[in-house]
Structure 1
Amino acid sequence: MFDHLVAITTSNVLEDGHMTDISIIGTGNMGSAIAGIAAKGGARVQIVARDLAKAEELAAQVGGTAATFGDALTGAVVVLAVPHAALADIVATYGAQLDGKVVADVTNPVDFATFDGLTVPADTSAAAQLQESVPGARVVKAFNTNFAATLATGEVGGVPSTVVIAGDDEAAKALLTEVVSAGGVVVADAGSLKRARELEALGFLQMVLAVREQIAWTGGFAVRR
């Protein structure tokens, strides 16, 4: 289950021009792509997974270090590039350790039993529920409208890939934007965390189109400026 569990942590740029430590929990496609962006932007990456061998393999690819799930998260930003069902275990494992951190939720709460809707009520979102679970964290929705391949290549059908974010904390969004932009990927700010509901619906629709073979998993929605 946790092969797709990812968290990224970082903070401001140090005097040597590097970001502080970035911790990635998991070795899935999204985690790998986001790790590549972070490393490209100069961040020092830590890969954390239940399977230490997989963590070490990905860490070697991005010039980072490896650790086991449950180890301390050392940075200021935590990116949860995980299946929605994994959020509960992250909250249970890290809980108050997320206080004060920018927590970027990458999940799409899709009902995979029917593949016909989201598992959260219409008046909320996975990101909003996460914020309720870790009230001391600064939750931002991000990356969920991107397929991993478009993050890795930096383009969607010839248009630069754009990471759309939403959150109530302006400083949190600015810090995440700094990390992503440093890695060469465009960021668009959709506003408050209320917009996470629309982002999750868009992410689900994109997945439906890919499953129905209307678009490729290397394609998807693009934001043209």
Structure 2
Amino acid sequence: MEPTLPQRLYLLSYDTDKNRFDPVSTAYRGHLLRAAALTELILGGLLRARDGRAERDTARTPEDPFLAEVLDGLSPHEPGHWINAVPDREWKAERAVREQLVANGSITVDRGRVLGLFPTLDVTLEHPGEVRRLRERVHEAVRTEHTVATAPAEDVALAAIAADGDVWTVFTPQERHEYRAGFKAVHERFGVEVPGMRTAILAAVVNRRAGTA
């Protein structure tokens, strides 16, 4: 089964050369994973985006447990704003996605303690080549305005979330400058397909850095 958008974003956040996670976006990775989940629900038709708010399709439920949990957090009676949906229970997101990837054999996790007191968690990719290929696919999507227009919606969404979330393992600042025309097109397309999500992601990042969320 194809990994979900949150699962792909988690894997993309891992530096396959240094065998560690991107340190820049660590503080708000849960927000970005929720943004990816909400985006997948939109692209899959289980949510409708209107004026920066999310309207649920109450007749359908996703098979993926994490997507289902994110969807269940939205009221079936009143549209919710992305700016509230992205940070909602974000502290649970990374663990939920990580456990899914352990279960499907994508990663292994070793737990330990430093000085016998402080818990540690070491993640190892089981298929680093697949992660590198995924990263190349997302890179290819933003190289030119043409590639943005023809790339799969999920690849464009991953590019948009990774760029706004400063996930340097996906795009370094130099690459974002190099592909600036492509990124302009990425944000335009993402804004059409998932209206209001970019504002919510940027707000979550800013608030987290400021220590207010």
Task: Provide the TM-score with structure 2 as the length reference.
Answer: 0.29
Name the one with the larger strand percent: 1
* Bigger relative CO (Cα 8 Å, ≥ 6 apart): 2
Task: Provide the TM-score with structure 1 as the length reference.
Answer: 0.28
Kindly name which structure, 1 or 2, has the bigger radius of gyration based on alpha carbons: 2
Name the one with the larger helix percent: 2
